[in-house]
Amino acid sequence: MQNLERMRELIQTIKEADEAYYKYDAPIMADLDYDRLYDELAALERETGTILSSSPTQRVSGEVLESLTAVRHTRPMLSADKCKSVADIHKYLGGHEAVLSWKLDGLTLVLRYENGKLAQAITRGDGLQGEDVTHTVRIMKNVPLVIPCKEPLEVRGEGVISWKEFHALNGTLDEPYAHPRNLAAGSVRKLNAEEVRERGLSFMAFDLISDNLGGSTKWETLRFLAQMGFTTVGYSILAAGASEEAVRQAMDFYQPKEYAYPTDGLIFEFNDLAYGRSLGATGHHENRMTAFKWPDTRYETKFRRLEVATTRTGMISLTAVFDDVVIDGTTVNHAYLHNLDNFTRLALGPGDTISVYKANMIIPQIAENKTKSGGCPLPDVCPCCGSTLVVRQSSGGTRQLYCDNEACPARLVRKFVHFCSKTRMEIKGLDEQTLTTFVQHGWVKNYGDLYELERHKEEILKTPGFGEKSFARLQKAVDERRTCTLNQFIAALGIPEVGRHAGRILNRKFGGSWDAFERAILDQFDFTQLEDFGQVMNDNIYCWYSDEEEAKLWRPALNHITFLKEETTMPEAQNNPFAGKTVVATGKLENYTRDGIQMKLLSLGARPASSVSKKTDYLIVGENAGSKLTKAQTLGVTTLTEQQFLQMLADAGIEA
């Protein structure tokens, strides 16, 4: 009776984990814990001889989101059984030839083709029906939309994102994902395909569903898929009669730490397709294949503290900091806890003995807290602004801490990114990911703080990815931007509609002086008097200047910046056809960026403008010119191709 009760508990716990993982892409437990519970349930089923109808060992996990159309699979999509040792693998193969391949860790997909064209893409779902995700799969970078074969067929594979693209993209998202698997799943299942276009997802084919295509062996099937234009999963052939040592050596070639994509093991499948089919299947897995998962070695260490940071959405990230431990040749001392539920479950306290591991040999995670003192208090205020934190529950049932203060500096990361960007203050090294870290920890709360990073040097050096040399490079980049022109600073402030072009006009008007610009605002200067300035821009300047909260962000920077007067004309360039002329550039130019052509016109003594009017003397026309060209033709403004512009410069003896 106790065994049956325990089995019911395990089924319910695994069901909740499956729903969070598959339906909401928000895992509530580590893979190691899930596998442990699953194995315990399977062992109890063998021991008791009883299998309950709701057991996850008899079905494939997964749920269908209500917001996507459900589609039934032509054949059930089952899982693979598991072997835990090389000896088990050798015994399973029984001397038969097999194909060894990566077990990719992403979102399993089915692609249906009709008359040589992609007709539908479906997720695995619960194995019997999945979700129609054709709209997002069509824009994955390596999915063939048309193939040479005109017969109906289905291709099964994995939607994955590389580790490199995962780390680059994750730092730009409002709520970072814990693993590439979740990012791939969350991306493929988005309703708006445009949000997925830049995420770099790939499709790796591993199976063909067809009665008469692909040949009689697994190797021939994979070769056929490659000929059709699919990227196939990496694989190799294990010869018939391979010894246990030969199997081990073949497996040693597959090193997950060196592989570009996330993987959680290896797949062994019989090469003879007819033999594989003859082995049948259970309700959970097909007997033609088995999976091997690398064991996650645990390492004991001591928990020291909880690192709390505020994200751009106001969500509070919780990271465990512990004594250094070397895993797979790298020193590890941080592990992200994912959510409040994991923090509560672990009951962490300073000095607790914990065991840690690298999930899939990549991501550090806490497997267990052996002490569970619970001495680490739950944070109750935002580390960035000091506001009281609240607990929110996601649609998947997981709890997270949030800061609800809309004015919290952590929510202003994008403004910091804008301020530091290449075409504004151009502070190298302060990219979005770095700024997010600095803001989350409360080291940067206004633009002035960017120039006082030395105050937090000791803490920054403890941050993963930072060392003495990288900090020195960053400090040098900041120091180089303690001097700037007025137009650079104004463009960096993020005043609505007042960008680089407007900044140059203001720079000329006020002689590069911030004091003169600010005095004009205090004297109620009418900015509509300036070329290309309308009432909206005028009002935006005054609205921005009167915003006290906004002033707290930018005014401290004035204590660290010296303004330089920018020479906008060159003496030798006064005798040229563009000196004193109003010139507009439109379309894509071959030899200049948008900013570059503006600077060139300024150096010629011209007045670069952003819109065409009766006062415009020349319109330089590039590729894909639009309404500005039409308006110029209507007004009779002289239009120049880029080559004509360059020729006029050459005729005047001026370099392009």
Can 565 be counted among the known catalytic residues? Answer: no
Strand partners, 156: 110, 207
Question: Hey, CA dihedral for 547, 548, 550, 554, is it positive or negative?
Answer: positive
Catalytic residue among 15, 82, 91, 103: 103
Count of C-beta atoms within a 10 Å radius of residue 435: 23
Q: Could you please report the per-residue DSSP string of 622-647?
A: -BT--HHHHHHHHHT-EEEEHHHHHH
Place of tokens 């928000």: 26
Mark residue 208 as left, alpha or beta (left: phi above 0; alpha: psi -120 to 50; beta: remaining): beta
Q: How far apart are CA 352 and CA 290, in angstroms?
A: 38
Two tokens, residue 439: 């803001």
Query: Which residue type sits at 24?
Result: Y
Phi/psi at 123 (nearest 5 deg)?
A: -80, 165
Note whether 565 and 512 are within 8 A (CB). Answer: yes
From residue 577, alpha-carbon distances to 362, 595, 597 in Å are: 62, 21, 16
Q: Cα torsion for 38, 44, 46, 49, to the nearest 10°?
A: -130
Note whether 91 and 346 are within 8 A (CB). Answer: no
Note whether 384 and 445 are within 8 A (CB). Answer: yes
Pinpoint the alpha helices (H) of 331-397.
Answer: 340-346
Count of C-beta atoms within a 10 Å radius of residue 320: 26
- Residues designated catalytic: 103
